[in-house]
Amino acid sequence: MPLKPEYKVTLLGAGGVGKSALTLRIISGQFTPSYNPTIEDYYRHDTNVEGVGQCIVEILDTAGTEQFASMRQLYINSGDAFALVYAIDNLDSFLEVKEIYQQLVEMKKPEELLVILVGNKCDLKSKRTVSTQEGIQAATQMKKCPFLETSAKDGTNVEEFFNTLVAAVDKKARGDEK
Residues that bind ligand GDP (CB under 6 A): 15-21, 33, 35, 37-38, 64, 120-121, 123-124, 151-153
Residue nearest to ligand GDP (CB): 18
In the bound state with ligand GDP, the residue whose beta carbon lies nearer, of 80 and 149, is 149
Sort strands 53-62 and 40-49 into parallel, antiparallel or unpaired: antiparallel
State the nearest-atom distance from the C-beta of 173 to ligand GDP, in Å: 27
State the nearest-atom distance from the C-beta of 161 to ligand GDP, in Å: 11
Task: Please give the single-letter amino acid code of residue 120.
Answer: N
Buried b / exposed e over 88-123, threshold 16 CB at 10 Å, is: bbbeebbebbeebbeebeeebeeeebbbbbbbbbbb
* Coil, strand or helix at 17: coil
In the bound state with ligand GDP, the residue whose beta carbon lies nearer, of 94 and 170, is 94
State the nearest-atom distance from the C-beta of 137 to ligand GDP, in Å: 22
